[in-house]
Amino acid sequence: MTTTELGLAEALVRLAHTVQHVFGDVSREQDLTPQQAQLLCVLIREPVGMTELTRLLHLEKSSLTGLVDRVERRGLVTRVPDDRDRRACRIALTDEGVELAHRTHEAVTNRLDARTRRLPAAARSHVLAALDALS
């Protein structure tokens, strides 16, 4: 009865793999690891605390500490003390970090758009609506 849509799950997995690959290529060109690039992109909108970051990136806090350490050591982010809570800090992009984050985000978007551009407009909006429903 539950007629499984043959291949849709597989297609999603393949797509995820493709996206991951694009992201990896772009990161390498910016001399970043994919994880570092992802962190920068998440911070574009606004500075974020460590605990919130673990939710956004699906990482344990101990893993996150090291990731932030390394990116901070490169001068791309800083730990800004939170004056409401002296235990906490928010991770903010430096000027250099903002620049690199935008470059990375734009490159990823461009390459993905280059692929979707082949699709007819109707298909794009269908996919967009469906993907929004999925995540």
Footprint on this chain of a second copy (rule: CB under 8 A)? 2, 4-5, 7-21, 23-24, 58, 108-109, 112-113, 115-119, 121, 123-135
Placement of tokens 């809570």 in the chain: 85
Nearer to DNA, 22 or 64 (CB): 64
Rounded to whole angstroms, the Cα distance separating 48 from 71 reads 14
Q: Which is nearer to a second copy, 51 or 75 (CB)?
A: 51
Q: Residue 49: which H helix or E strand, with range?
A: strand 48-49
- Least gap, CB of 5 to DNA (angstroms): 29
By CB under 7 A, name the binding residues for DNA. 24, 33-36, 49-52, 58-70, 79, 82, 85-90
Longest alpha-carbon distance in the chain: 57
Q: How far is CA 120 from CA 11, 14, 89, 116, 126, in A?
A: 19, 21, 45, 9, 10
- Shortest Å, Cβ 40 to DNA: 11
Closest CB to a second copy among residues 28, 81: 28
127 binds, among a second copy, DNA, none (CB under 5 to 8 A by kind): a second copy
Residue 49's DSSP bridge partners are 90
**Which amino acid, 85?**
D
Q: How do strand 48-49 and strand 89-93 relate by DSSP bridges?
A: antiparallel
Q: How far is the CB of 80 from DNA (least distance, A)?
A: 10
Q: Considering the complex, what minimum distance in angstroms separates the CB of residue 48 from DNA?
A: 9
